[in-house]
């Protein structure tokens, strides 16, 4: 909620954004000390993100930040891990300054904020591990992230929370490969894959980018102009423009002047893969924020999988003030207590709910007194999902000329929106001599195929055979973690465009809805 009081110190923090969670946690910490609290950040997106993280050094030639690997992170390497219990055994009767429901990135960020204030924290989560949707499973030596993830290093709040050095981040090639129908219809042809890279960070790609048939020279010049304008802006200024901002589709066409073909081939699949919605359903303010983050920082994968990011955040929590209890589903919350399904109750002076939208709605609506934050949450129909299928290959080499680049579906034909080769980016994602391919299907496209899991697998294979050749795809083997759904539901929520509907605040990987009271 935007305003919290000592009388009702229950804060809602949507799972994706540590900034909002940290703001809510700061408010809860203030409430725990008996003060009236306000859970609002300077920017609802990334706090004071106008300051670049200390690990970024300005490049004199282009005035854009380039990574400085040797630079230290804002949070030092952990020396003692918070107590992470496999369940809530013995938790009944426990008292803490703050109880946090949810051990995803939002909950862990909230715990760090509260602990930094010198207060005691208990974090409870129904899952068997920290991270929420940011989890990684290891299957036969392959690292399978739950859903397709990209680690955007320029997000300032996560750079405060995480120790980047410990994550051993491996970068993607800056840009993307656009897949268009092959000129040779009888076999996959390299001419079907067209690189649109960032020549400022990958100068050798400039001739390829300029001669690519994806977009005119004018379109490519406009990309440079858009990059410069977003870089010269600040995240705070972009956030301030959110109310009444046009859709991304209108912004790209009317304000930026991009051609329809370029928007359709590049911007649509690239940002559809991020926001899980069409461009006319995306806020241009949120688009500009993410575009800026891609422009000023690297996109990468942690060597240990995306799940190593929340694991690192948990490891950095002080063990003398924080206790994390897993496999601990919550039955109800009150202003000063959290009751688990087993009946144990943890009392506190403040409570932070950092659960997913569905869980937060259930808990806040049933709380006593009812939290006004529950009424401001998006309806279930506003949730967006994605499905990620993984395939193992017996060859480490990826079947594209640029294996470290994301491949996006520039034609819109078929169910797969984007393809990634994780082991080509971070070799730790696959055993030696093996390859790993990630295919992402956005939203309801997976269900529309029909035939269940087998039908979706067949549709993905057919499209990939068209892209890479039937002989190559015939050797792909499906790999999945037992019992883990391949569809991530509620990975995003619908955005508010042009001021329609309730207010939204940008998030790290999603949106949280502003409460209207409290």
CATH number at residue 310: 3.50.50.60
Any domain includes 29: no
For residue 391, give every residue at least 6 positions away whose Cβ sits within 8 Å of its Cβ, in sequence order, or none: 436, 437, 439, 476, 477, 478, 479
362 contacts: CB under 8 Å, gap ≥ 6? none
Running DSSP on this structure, what letter comes out for residue 251? I
Residues 236 and 219: their CA atoms lie apart, in Å, by 27
Phi, psi of 473 (to 5 degrees): -70, -25
Phi, psi of 172 (to 5 degrees): -75, 160
Query: 272 and 351 share a domain?
Result: no
φ/ψ (deg, to 5) at 157? -65, -40
Please check whether residues 257 and 344 belong to one and the same domain. no
Q: With contact defined as beta carbons under 8 Å apart, do 105 and 508 qualify?
A: yes
pLDDT of the residue at 183? 60
First to last CA, the chain: 7
Q: Are residues 112 and 149 in the same domain?
A: no
Please report whether residue 435 resides in a domain.
yes
pLDDT at position 156: 79
Regarding whether 481 and 398 lie in a shared domain, the answer is yes
Residue 251: inside a domain, yes or no?
Answer: yes
To which H or E segment does residue 269 belong?
helix 268-275
Q: What is the pLDDT of residue 23?
A: 57
Last residue of a domain, one of 255, 277, 297: 297
Task: Kindly state whether residue 41 falls inside one of the protein's structural domains.
Answer: no
Answering whether pTM is above 0.75, one says: yes
Domains identified in the chain, total number: 3
* Residue 65 domain-assigned (yes or no): no
Q: In this structure, are 246 and 180 located in the same domain?
A: no
Residues 265, 239 share a domain: yes
Half-sphere exposure of 353 (CA within 13 A, CB side): 36
Spatial distance between the Cα atoms of 272 and 278, rounded to a whole number of angstroms: 6
**Judgement on whether residues 209 and 222 belong to the same structural domain of the protein:** no
Which has the closest alpha carbon to 33: 350, 346, 294? 350
Whole-number Å distance between alpha carbons of 419 and 399: 11
Contact 127, 326 (CB under 8 A): yes
* Angle, in degrees to the nearest 10, between helices 217-232 and 284-296: 90
109-157 confidence digits (pLDDT tens): 999 999 999 999 999 999 999 999 999 999 999 999 999 999 999 987 8
Q: Are residues 394 and 455 in the same domain?
A: yes
Residue 167 has a pLDDT of 95
Is residue 70 in a domain?
no
Closest CA to 487 of 178, 146, 166, 227: 146
Same domain, 441 and 490: yes
Tell me how far apart the alpha carbons of residues 364 and 345 are, in angstroms, rounded to a whole number.
Answer: 17
Domain boundary among 279, 297, 315: 297
Residues of the chain with pLDDT under 70: 1-90, 182-191, 368-381, 498-518
Show Cβ contacts of residue 381 under 8 Å, excluding neighbours closer than 6 positions.
Answer: none
Tell me: do 414 and 491 sit in the same domain: yes
Q: Which of 280, 297, 314 is the last residue of a domain?
A: 297
The angle at the Cα of 226, spanning 175 to 306, to the nearest 5 degrees, equals 40
Q: Are residues 429 and 338 in the same domain?
A: no
Determine which helix (DSSP H) or strand (DSSP E) holds 490, and give its type and residue range: strand 487-493
Range of the domain at 126: 95-135+306-366
| CATH assignment of the domain containing 488 | 3.90.660
Report how far residue 175's alpha carbon sits from residue 203's, in angstroms, rounded to the nearest whole number. Answer: 12
Closest by CA to 460, choosing from 420, 414, 398, 408, is 414
- Is 480 within the bounds of a domain? yes
pLDDT for residue 57: 28
179 within 8 A of 409, measured Cβ to Cβ: yes
Closest-CA residue to 510 (of 25, 73, 147, 52) = 147
Q: Is 60 part of any domain? A: no
- The reply to whether 104 and 185 lie within a common domain is no
User: Which residues, in sequence order, are CB contacts of 319 under 8 Å at separation 6+?
Assistant: 80, 81, 82, 83
């Amino acid at each position: 909620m935007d305003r919290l009081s000592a009388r009702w110190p229950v804060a809602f923090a949507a799972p994706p954004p540590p900034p909002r969670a940290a703001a809510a946690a700061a408010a809860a910490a203030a409430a725990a000390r008996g003060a009236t609290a306000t859970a609002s950040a300077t920017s609802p997106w990334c706090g004071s993100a106008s300051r670049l993280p200390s690990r970024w050094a300005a490049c004199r030639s282009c005035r854009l930040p380039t990574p400085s690997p040797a630079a230290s992170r804002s949070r030092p390497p952990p020396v003692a891990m918070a107590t992470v219990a496999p369940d809530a055994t013995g938790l009944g009767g426990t008292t803490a300054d703050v109880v946090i429901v949810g051990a995803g990135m939002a909950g862990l960020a909230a715990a760090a904020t509260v602990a930094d204030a010198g207060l005691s924290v208990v974090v409870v989560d129904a899952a068997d591990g920290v991270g929420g949707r940011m989890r990684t499973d290891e299957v036969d030596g392959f690292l399978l992230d739950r859903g397709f993830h990209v680690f955007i290093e320029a997000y300032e709040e996560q750079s405060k929370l995480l120790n980047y050095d410990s994550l051993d981040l491996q970068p993607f090639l800056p840009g993307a490969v656009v897949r268009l129908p092959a000129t040779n219809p009888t076999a996959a042809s390299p001419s079907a894959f067209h690189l649109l890279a960032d020549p400022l960070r990958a100068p050798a790609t400039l001739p390829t980018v300029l001669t690519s048939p994806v977009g005119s020279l004018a379109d490519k010049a406009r990309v440079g102009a858009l990059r410069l304008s977003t870089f010269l802006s600040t995240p705070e200024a972009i956030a301030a423009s959110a109310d009444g901002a046009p859709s991304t589709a209108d912004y790209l066409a009317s304000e930026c002047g991009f051609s329809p073909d370029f928007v359709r081939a590049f911007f649509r699949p690239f940002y559809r893969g991020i926001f899980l919605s069409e461009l006319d359903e995306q806020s241009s303010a949120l688009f500009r924020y993410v575009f800026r983050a891609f422009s000023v920082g690297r996109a990468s994968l942690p060597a240990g999988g995306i799940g190593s990011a929340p694991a690192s955040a948990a490891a950095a929590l002080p063990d003398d003030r924080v206790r994390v209890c897993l496999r601990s589903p919550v039955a109800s919350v009150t202003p000063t207590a959290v009751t688990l399904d087993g009946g144990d109750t943890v009392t506190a002076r403040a409570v932070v709910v950092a659960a997913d939208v569905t869980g937060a709605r259930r808990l806040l609506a049933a709380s006593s007194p009812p939290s006004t934050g529950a009424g401001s949450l998006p309806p279930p129909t506003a949730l967006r999902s994605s499905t990620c299928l993984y395939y193992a290959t017996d060859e480490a080499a990826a079947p594209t000329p640029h294996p470290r680049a994301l491949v996006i579906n520039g034609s819109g034909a078929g169910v797969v929106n984007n393809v990634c080769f994780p082991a080509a980016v971070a070799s730790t994602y696959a055993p030696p001599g093996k390859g790993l391919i990630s295919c992402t299907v956005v939203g309801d496209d997976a269900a529309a195929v029909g035939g269940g899991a087998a039908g979706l697998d067949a549709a993905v294979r057919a499209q990939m055979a068209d892209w890479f050749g039937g002989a190559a795809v015939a050797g792909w083997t499906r790999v999945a973690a037992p019992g883990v759904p391949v569809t991530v539901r509620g990975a995003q929520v619908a955005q508010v465009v042009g001021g329609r509907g309730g207010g939204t605040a940008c998030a790290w990987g999603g949106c949280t809805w502003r409460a209207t009271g409290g």
